Amino acid sequence: MFRLRLGRLGLGQRCYAQTPKPPYWAVIFTSERTANSKGYDAMSQRMVQLAEQQPGFLGVESARETLGITVSYWASEEAIVAWKANASHVIAQEKGKRDWYKSYSTRICRVERDYRFQKHGEEHEETKIEY
């Protein structure tokens, strides 16, 4: 497995997910928040910690401006279904709909191919890994 970046920052949401060779699965969660942020950050961090303990969890990538995009990666579709049904996650989903999200969109995808680029050292030195 090619590691694009070694190590993790914080909860792993600010660096690349260390995914294996395809196929694997991705959940693209796009959301728009309400003005109510009470409890959101703590729950969000807790959900990442819980997901990391879930069988088949591969990693997560996240960014927010007006729209937030969180992509979590999974070894199988079954792993995604199990995570969706996780009791603590079900509670978080309900709180999310009631308090934190104006709207969201969830897309369950099979990752068929991927490729990565990383610049090494000075400009113009680069490595491209394509599966």
Q: Which residues bind its own copies (CB under 8 A)?
A: 4-5, 9, 14-17, 19, 22, 26, 28, 30, 32, 34, 61-69, 71, 77, 97-98, 101-119, 123-124, 126
CB of 76 to its own copies, least distance (A): 12
Residue count of the chain: 131
14 or 55: CB nearest its own copies: 14
Is there a contact between 3 and 18 (Cβ–Cβ < 8 Å)? yes
C-alpha to C-alpha distance for 120 and 127, rounded to whole angstroms: 7
Nearer to its own copies, 38 or 113 (CB): 113
Q: How far is the CB of 110 from its own copies (least distance, A)?
A: 5
| Alpha-carbon distances, residue 23 vs 26, 83, 112 (angstroms) | 10, 19, 5
Cβ 77 to its own copies shortest distance, Å: 8
CB-nearer residue toward its own copies: 67 or 90: 67
Q: Which residues, other chains included, contact 112 with Cβ-Cβ below 8 Å and sequence gap of 6+?
A: 22, 23
* Tokens describing residue 119: 């610049």
